[in-house]
């Protein structure tokens, strides 16, 4: 059943929606301001997520044994591969959800929401079992330094308990984002981040439980965030809210979700997988180099997350506007985002390069670790604006329903080019600068591929705008 805007407003009077339903349509209003209001909560949420990990790094780096930071870093990469897959999967779901919401099709929307969350819960339970059983073997495959592999295994297995909570939260957040609600997830993450910091200090600095204490603090905060999100997602408009016990998995909805969500998930998976392969090369330079890249990643997040947030915001924005066929708003949103992110990334990159060493010293007092982290900043930040532009085109393409080509370009640029460069050049020039240059090269190649594909995709839709039959065929999802 489709519900138009007028019917939707009437449904509020009938009690189908209420003050807890914070869904927002993005098809009208000033594009720049609408996009900024939509993107800012996502940006702050990503920053909070970064602070979430920064708190762990500071506490572990200053109150645990010397190799603890490296152990946590390598173990976190394994968790990140799984989480990033579902972050990507969630972006695909966000695109699909936004399109149904933009068309006011609440019956189809309900099937998408329920099926997506059931899938997240099921996979979370399965992945928890896999990590608990094979966690130690995964660390050996990644060439984790032998002196820290024991505590790395402990950290990894405890963190696995929070996987189901993380997957449920991430998919729920993607759904709310598609519905135009980016404020609620921000509030929930604020609560979880504050709880994580308090528990970190108590468990590690006060009680002296070390890496295990940091892992327990993380897991508890993750489950609290998931439970709060669960209450929220069950309190939405009754026309499409999640029903944890009375719902069901719709085969047609599952097919659509897998069709658009899996390529997006595999894109994130291959990005993380390339990081794992490169981590093996980094580990070959010793504990100081491995730890240096960990603290670099914490600083990099202040450039990475704003770009990533804008990309995610664009997916929901473009998806809703595609649903109501507002192609001019889509094109303008891409141009505005490119200008905004390029300016921000260049300015912020310069600031971080100037103050790299003082900032890195927040995480550790080890001069060798600081040297490695600073070198990574100097070699990657000058071209980071190219990565930001990549995120704009990725978000735009996914909002237009194309999750396959971003995946293909990610495999080619981030996996084959980046990893292939390291495997080929490192034996000839054994220097960490080879690894930093791999990032720059992959970003440059990818931006040309993405821009070309986006131009073709948006031209396809605008070309069919005057042909009702062609337009309808290009916009309609199979519904059951």
pLDDT digits (tens, 9 = 90+) for 394-435: 988 888 888 888 889 988 888 788 888 888 888 888 888 888
Q: DSSP states of 28-57 as a string?
A: SS-HHHHHHHHHHHHHHHHHHHHHHHHHHH
**pLDDT, mean of residues 235-246:** 75
pLDDT digits (tens, 9 = 90+) for 83-114: 777 777 777 777 778 777 777 777 778 888 88
Cα–Cα distance for residue pair 16/119, rounded to 1 Å: 26
256 falls within a domain: yes
Q: Which of 372, 437, 55 is nearest to 221 (CA)?
A: 55
445 falls within a domain: yes
Judge contact between 381 and 354, C-beta under 8 A: no
Q: Which residues span the domain enclosing 125?
A: 30-465
- Does residue 11 register a pLDDT over 80? no
2 falls within a domain: no
What pLDDT band is residue 311 in, cutting at 50, 70 and 90?
confident
11 falls within a domain: no
151 falls within a domain: yes
Domain count, the chain: 1
What pLDDT band is residue 117 in, cutting at 50, 70 and 90?
confident
What pLDDT band is residue 20 in, cutting at 50, 70 and 90?
very low
pLDDT of residue 384: 92
Inter-CA distances, 305 with 17, 294, 299, 314, 384, Å: 33, 16, 11, 14, 12
19 falls within a domain: no
342 falls within a domain: yes
Judge contact between 299 and 352, C-beta under 8 A: yes
pLDDT of residue 479: 35
280 falls within a domain: yes
């Amino acid at each position: 059943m489709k519900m138009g805007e007028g019917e939707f407003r009437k449904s509020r009077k009938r009690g189908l929606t209420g003050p807890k339903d914070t869904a927002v349509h993005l098809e009208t209003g000033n594009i720049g301001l609408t996009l900024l209001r939509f993107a800012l909560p996502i940006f702050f949420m990503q920053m909070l997520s970064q602070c979430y990990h920064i708190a762990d790094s500071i506490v572990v780096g200053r109150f645990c044994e010397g190799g603890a930071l490296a152990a946590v870093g390598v173990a976190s990469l394994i968790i990140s591969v799984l989480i990033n897959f579902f972050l990507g999967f969630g972006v695909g779901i966000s695109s699909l959800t936004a399109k149904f919401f933009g068309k006011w099709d609440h019956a189809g929307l309900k099937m998408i929401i329920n099926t997506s969350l059931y899938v997240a819960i099921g996979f979370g339970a399965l992945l928890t079992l896999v990590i608990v059983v094979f966690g130690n073997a995964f660390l050996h495959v990644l060439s984790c330094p032998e002196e820290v592999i024991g505590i790395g295994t402990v950290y990894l297995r405890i963190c696995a308990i929070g996987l189901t909570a993380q997957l449920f939260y991430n998919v729920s957040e993607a759904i709310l984002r598609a519905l135009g609600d980016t404020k609620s997830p921000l509030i929930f993450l604020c609560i979880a981040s504050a709880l994580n910091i308090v528990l970190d200090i108590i468990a590690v600095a006060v009680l002296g439980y070390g890496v295990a204490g940091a892992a327990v603090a993380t897991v508890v905060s993750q489950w609290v965030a998931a439970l709060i999100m669960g209450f929220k997602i069950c309190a939405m408009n009754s026309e499409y809210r999640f029903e944890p016990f009375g719902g069901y998995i719709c085969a047609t909805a599952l097919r659509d979700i897998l069709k658009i969500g899996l390529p997006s998930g595999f894109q994130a998976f291959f990005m993380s997988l390339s990081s794992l392969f490169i981590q093996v090369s980094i580990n070959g330079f010793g504990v100081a180099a491995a730890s240096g890249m960990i603290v670099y990643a914490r600083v990099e997040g202040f450039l990475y997350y704003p770009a990533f947030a804008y990309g995610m915001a664009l997916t929901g924005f473009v998806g809703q506007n595609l649903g109501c066929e507002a192609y001019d708003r889509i094109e303008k949103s891409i141009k505005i985002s490119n200008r905004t992110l390029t300016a921000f990334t260049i300015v912020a990159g310069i600031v971080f390069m100037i103050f790299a060493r003082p900032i890195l010293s927040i995480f550790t007092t080890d001069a060798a670790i600081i040297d490695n982290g600073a070198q990574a900043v100097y070699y990657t930040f000058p071209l980071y604006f190219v990565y930001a532009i990549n995120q704009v085109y990725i978000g735009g393409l996914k909002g237009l329903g194309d999750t396959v080509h971003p995946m293909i370009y990610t495999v080619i640029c981030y996996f084959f080019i980046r990893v292939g460069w390291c495997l080929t050049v490192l034996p000839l020039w054994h220097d960490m600068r080879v690894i930093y240059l791999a990032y720059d090269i992959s970003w440059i190649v990818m931006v040309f591929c993405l821009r070309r594909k986006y131009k073709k995709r948006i031209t396809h839709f605008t070309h069919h705008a005057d042909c009702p039959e062609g337009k309808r065929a290009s916009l309609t999802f199979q519904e059951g």
